[in-house]
Amino acid sequence: MKFAAISDVHVKRAGDPAEVLLLTFLRNPDVQSSDVIFLLGDIFDLMIGPHTQYFVRYQAYFDEIKKLIKNGKRICYVEGNHDFHIKDLYKKFFEVNSDLDKSLFAMAPFFEFFDADKKIYFAHGDDIELGNPGYRIWKGVVTSFPLRYYANYLMPHFLIKAIGEYSAEKSRKRNNKRYSTESDLTPVKDNFRFSTETFFKKHPRQVIVLGHSHVKDHYVSVNGYEYVNNGYAQNSKTYISITDGNISFKDIF
């Protein structure tokens, strides 16, 4: 089987370089020849709740999703910490586009596929990252039932903005690290490698595909698994391709 995966594109507005990157990825012939396309979170810099305005704002994106599904492609979406409470948004999307086969689109906290004798695990990565207790508390609050209800039915703009600004602040910190020297990236990279080692002990998977760290990495563990992260897409300008269990980074442009 052939898989294509991307995360952490952080599209802020229609027409920005991140959206160009995302659309180019979705239109890439190699991506389109994959059996499953994974969107592993933080695809959008701020998308919270099932607000239909997103269909207008990101029409080009939703058009590409439509085309892919019409062509029989499977799309697996994992929510990130910048794009969440959007299950009902896609429910509305398939209600409006009732001609589309909605079984080809799935949204879940993680996905697992068994291919070429390997168990392959796909997630955003924030649930696996260790040593970030403040983030965990924050995520517990924003994903709690009351807040989910709020996001889906009542969420006023100021709260979306507040969450967005908090997330943006977190990203800025990560992005600053990203642009500084290689040695500054090492702690984040090492922490994600260590986090996958811990995860692997409990959940042996031969391939672990994550995002969230904004640090590109392909780590082959002596314990018998590989961890791959495409990093911050606007920086790496690549995506992850897995063909018959073999991992590679491919250029988007």
Please give the residue ranges that form the binding site for Mn ion (CB under 5 A).
Answer: 42, 80-81, 212
Pick 87 or 174: Cβ nearer Mn ion: 174
Minimum gap (Å) between residue 96 Cβ and Mn ion: 28
Minimum gap (Å) between residue 11 Cβ and Mn ion: 13
Residues 39, 203: Cα–Cα separation, whole Å: 22
Residues 147, 159: Cα–Cα separation, whole Å: 10
Pick 42 or 217: Cβ nearer Mn ion: 42
Contacts of 195 (CB under 8 A, 6+ apart): 128, 129, 130, 131
Minimum gap (Å) between residue 42 Cβ and Mn ion: 4
DSSP 152: I
DSSP 11: B
- Tell me if 50 sits within 8 A of 86, measured CB to CB: yes
Please state the φ and ψ torsions of residue 121, each to the nearest 5 degrees. Answer: -110, 130
Pick 5 or 68: Cβ nearer Mn ion: 5
Pick 134 or 156: Cβ nearer Mn ion: 134
Residue of 121, 96, 98 whose CA lies nearest to 110: 121
Pick 206 or 235: Cβ nearer Mn ion: 235
Minimum gap (Å) between residue 124 Cβ and Mn ion: 6
Comparing every residue's Cβ against Mn ion, the nearest one is 212
DSSP 154: I
Residues 7, 230: Cα–Cα separation, whole Å: 7
Minimum gap (Å) between residue 199 Cβ and Mn ion: 17
